[in-house]
Amino acid sequence: MNLEQARFNMIEQQIRPWDVVDAGVLSLLSEVRREDFVPLAHKALAFVDMEIPLGHGQCMLAPRVEARMLQDAALLGGESVLEIGAGSGFMAAMLAHRAQRVISLEIIPELARMARVNLQKSGIQNVEVREFDGAKGAPAESPFDVILLSGSLAQVPQKLLQHLKIGGRLITVVGDEPVMRATVVTRTGDASFTTQQPWDTVVPRLVNFPEPSHFQF
């Protein structure tokens, strides 16, 4: 397989048509070797428009979803970032190229180890992967400029919003199948926030975050 041609096709045929127009994000997708973050058994799928299994019931998100979330993060280069859901480390790697520091939380020990190894092999030194349940809150280094949750939630976790700096953004996907919305919450003051939901998608749930009861009398 011609990896560079496959990477080019992924960017031009999947990602650009999905309204990813940030030149920096598109350039980054050319530079960060996605195939190095894909389990060996699925290497041939590295550039395919699909979620890639990582084991333990988890997956890498589709490339266009990761690219769009990275674009929504609107990183400029000096930010501190918290990611919840490290997976294989690929999103953390992309965030690291556009931020000063990234802390990535992963609840599954095997995936935390995978992410650390992948990031180390890629020479990325400004990401710290911690084995921790992100549903329990943020680490002591808060507040953050950006909090990105690499999966979906039933609702935005209000306690995480308190760990944003003023002007900071939380990016996640909210809702239930078949309709979920990418959600960007910006902290505009001590107790004020604005919310945008710029696009629709469906992605797997992050574990341990609360689910509203659907019980009906």
In the chain, the number of structural domains is: 1
Statement: residue 217 has pLDDT above 70: no
Reading the block at residue 174, the tokens are 């909210």
Statement: residue 15 has pLDDT above 80: yes
Going by pLDDT thresholds of 50, 70 and 90, the confidence category of residue 214 is low
Q: Is residue 95 part of a domain?
A: yes
Mean pLDDT (whole number) for 64-90:
97
pLDDT in the model for residue 212:
80
Domain that holds residue 101: 3-201
Q: Is residue 212 part of a domain?
A: no
Going by pLDDT thresholds of 50, 70 and 90, the confidence category of residue 180 is very high
pTM for the whole thing?
Answer: 0.95
Q: Is residue 216 part of a domain?
A: no
Tell me, what CATH number does 25's domain have? 3.40.50.150
Local structure of 46: helix, strand or coil: coil
Q: Is residue 215 part of a domain?
A: no
* Contact (Cβ atoms closer than 8 angstroms) between residue 165 and residue 185: no
Q: Is 122 exposed, middle or buried (0-12, 13-18, 19+ CB in 10 A)?
A: middle
167: number of Cβ within 10 Å: 10
CA 85, CA 66: separation in Å to the nearest integer?
12
Statement: residue 26 has pLDDT above 60: yes
pLDDT in the model for residue 213:
67
140: number of Cβ within 10 Å: 5
Q: Is residue 217 part of a domain?
A: no
Q: What is the mean pLDDT of the chain?
A: 95
Give the C-alpha distances (Å, rounded to integers) separating 50 from 56, 57, 61, 71, 215: 18, 15, 7, 19, 33
Q: Is residue 138 part of a domain?
A: yes
Tokens 């995480």 -> residue: 160
pLDDT in the model for residue 36:
97
Q: Is residue 24 part of a domain?
A: yes
Q: Is residue 149 part of a domain?
A: yes
Strands (DSSP E) contained in the chain are 52-55, 58-60, 80-84, 101-106, 127-131, 144-153, 164-176, 179-187, 193-201
Higher per-residue confidence, 157 vs 217: 157
Q: What is the DSSP string of 183-210?
A: EEEEE-SSS-EEEEEEEEE--PBPTTS-
pLDDT in the model for residue 1:
73
pLDDT in the model for residue 216:
54
Statement: residue 103 has pLDDT above 70: yes
Statement: residue 143 has pLDDT above 70: yes
